[in-house]
Amino acid sequence: MVSQQPASIRDVAERAGVALGTVSNVLNRPEKVAESTRRRVREAIDELGFVRNDAARQLRAGKSRTVGLVVLDVRNPFFTDVGRGAEERAATAHLSVLLGNSDELPEREAAYMDLFEEQRVQGLLISPIGDVFDRLARLRDRGTPTVLVDRPAQGRGFSSVSVDDVAGGYIAVSHLIDQGCIRIAFVGGPLSIVQVSDRLDGAKRAVSEHPGVQLEILSETGLTVHSGRDVGVLIGERAPGDRPDGILAANDLVAVGLLQSFTMLGTLAVPGDIALVGYDDIDFASATVVPLTSVQQPSRLIGQTAMELLLAEIAAREAGTDFEPRQVVFQPELVVRESSLRAMHSNPQQG
Ligand code: RIB
């Protein structure tokens, strides 16, 4: 079977009986073409099986019609919602989003930054693992603007969209203390991830305001459901008096894992024995076996806002005008559900 040459844009124009430019308009600016002509061209495209080759357009324009997005963990619904918001805003500018998952691995993060630059993305959104500012500055200077997602970039010349995670940790642990918790644990890590260390700093500030309240840090773990389950088993093996009576999990996935452990062990009641607070308020948080109290992040809005800032910088570059990077910081909100309302469920057995 000899494979035929793929149909060209010229073949489509001849089949539809229109000029080349008309086919280009149907593909790129359909609003400029009469409905009857649009229909004839699309029929020709379908009959010929024409698929446009964006590489040629990209070579001419020097840029693709895509934006790169690098997230820390694609399994985390928080980042899925961030990507959804970014994609929604990109679509209004006729751009698509290419997703890269660093999996919290610096070498994978670097590989995606190289790939997206080679693909000539119009810009990059990244939730960085560590300090990548120098690398991002080189990327920007070579023509790829970048916005930091879920990370403040004060004073480093980039726009950023983040949430005040110190405030988030503070309101979460203050709530646990208000519920009568005096042995509080912070579960999640590594602390090299700024979002996590900021939440812990907020937790520490809340504890420092209440003499007699203790804070245990269990950060030699990850940010996944499995991480939470592993820590939950270890806590369940402790004597009652050695267990925390309140936990702030670094994110909802860790909280779900903790909840799974305590429920499967059947020895620890949430919130009666241990009040539990998560972070992100992902969709599952309200549907867990004990509805989860969580610090809410406006994840979809974070994605939309980051893309908005990136599009503004791209437009400024195209217009040759100056662009002043902007820092957008959202305030977190505590969504209280059953998992932390210890006062209502206190268990007299708890030592
Ligand atoms: O990936 C680390 C955490 O930071 C996520 O769970 C989410 O909370 C983000 O803000």
Residue 207 has pLDDT above 90, yes or no: yes
Residue 189: C-alpha distances to residues 4, 128, 224, 254 (Å): 55, 15, 10, 10
Residue 349 has what pLDDT?
47
Residue nearest to atom 6 of ligand 1 (CA): 251
Residue 346 has what pLDDT?
55
pLDDT in tens, 265-316: 887 999 999 999 999 999 989 899 999 999 999 999 999 999 999 999 999 9
Residue 177 has what pLDDT?
98
Distance in angstroms (rounded) separating the CA atoms of residues 50 and 30: 17
Does 169 share its domain with 158?
A: no
Compute the average pLDDT of residues 49-75.
83
Residue 223 has what pLDDT?
96
CA 261 to ligand 1 center in whole angstroms: 21
Residue 61 has what pLDDT?
65
Does 230 share its domain with 171?
A: yes
* Residue 58 belongs to some domain of the structure: no
pLDDT in tens, 80-102: 999 999 999 999 999 999 999 99
pLDDT in tens, 155-203: 789 999 999 999 999 999 999 999 999 999 999 999 999 999 999 999 9
Picking from 181, 261, 251, 250, the residue whose alpha carbon sits closest to that of residue 217 is: 250
pLDDT in tens, 210-258: 999 999 999 989 999 999 999 999 999 999 999 999 999 999 999 999 9
Q: Is ligand 1 within 6 A of the CB of residue 101?
A: no
Residue nearest to atom 4 of ligand 1 (CA): 195
> 3-class DSSP state for residue 107?
helix
* Residue 275 belongs to some domain of the structure: yes
Does 257 share its domain with 206?
A: yes
pLDDT in tens, 41-55: 999 999 999 988 776
Does 34 share its domain with 76?
A: no
**Could you give the number of structural domains in the chain?**
3
- Ligand 1: which atom is nearest the Cα of residue 280? 8
> 3-class DSSP state for residue 95?
coil
* Residue 3 belongs to some domain of the structure: no
Residue 56 has pLDDT above 70, yes or no: no
* Residue 191 belongs to some domain of the structure: yes
Q: Is ligand 1 within 6 A of the CB of residue 81?
A: no
- Are 339 and 248 in contact by the 8 Å Cβ rule? The answer is no
Does 158 share its domain with 222?
A: no
Q: Is ligand 1 within 6 A of the CB of residue 150?
A: yes
Does 47 share its domain with 71?
A: no
pLDDT in tens, 7-32: 899 999 999 999 999 999 998 888 89
Does 159 share its domain with 192?
A: no
- Are 278 and 249 in contact by the 8 Å Cβ rule? The answer is yes
- Are 149 and 329 in contact by the 8 Å Cβ rule? The answer is no
The pTM of this model reads: 0.85
Q: Is ligand 1 within 6 A of the CB of residue 195?
A: yes
Residue 52 has what pLDDT?
80
Q: Is ligand 1 within 6 A of the CB of residue 251?
A: yes
Distance in angstroms (rounded) separating the CA atoms of residues 232 and 229: 5
Does 291 share its domain with 170?
A: yes
Residue 351 has what pLDDT?
40
Residue 5 has pLDDT above 90, yes or no: no
* Residue 91 belongs to some domain of the structure: yes
Residue 57 has what pLDDT?
65
Does 31 share its domain with 80?
A: no
Residue nearest to atom 2 of ligand 1 (CA): 195
Does 340 share its domain with 205?
A: yes
* Residue 349 belongs to some domain of the structure: no
Instruction: Show the domain range for 47.
Output: 9-52
Does 26 share its domain with 74?
A: no
* Residue 237 belongs to some domain of the structure: yes
Which sign, positive or negative, has the C-alpha torsion 41, 45, 48, 54?
positive
CA 251 to ligand 1 center in whole angstroms: 6
Average pLDDT, the chain: 92
Q: For residue 318, give every residue at least 6 positions away whose Cβ sits within 8 Å of its Cβ, in sequence order, or none.
A: none
Give me the CATH number covering residue 137: 3.40.50.2300
Does 15 share its domain with 44?
A: yes
Q: Is ligand 1 within 6 A of the CB of residue 78?
A: yes
Q: Is ligand 1 within 6 A of the CB of residue 102?
A: no
- Are 112 and 102 in contact by the 8 Å Cβ rule? The answer is yes
Q: Is ligand 1 within 6 A of the CB of residue 112?
A: no
Give me the CATH number covering residue 36: 1.10.260.40
Distance from chain centroid for Cα 342 = 31
Residue 317 has what pLDDT?
93
* Residue 351 belongs to some domain of the structure: no
- Provide the strand spans (E) within the chain: 66-71, 96-101, 124-126, 146-149, 159-163, 183-187, 214-218, 246-249, 275-280, 293-296, 327-330, 333-335
Give DSSP secondary structure letters for 203-239. Answer: HHHHHHTSTT-EEEEE-SS-SSHHHHHHHHHHHHTS-
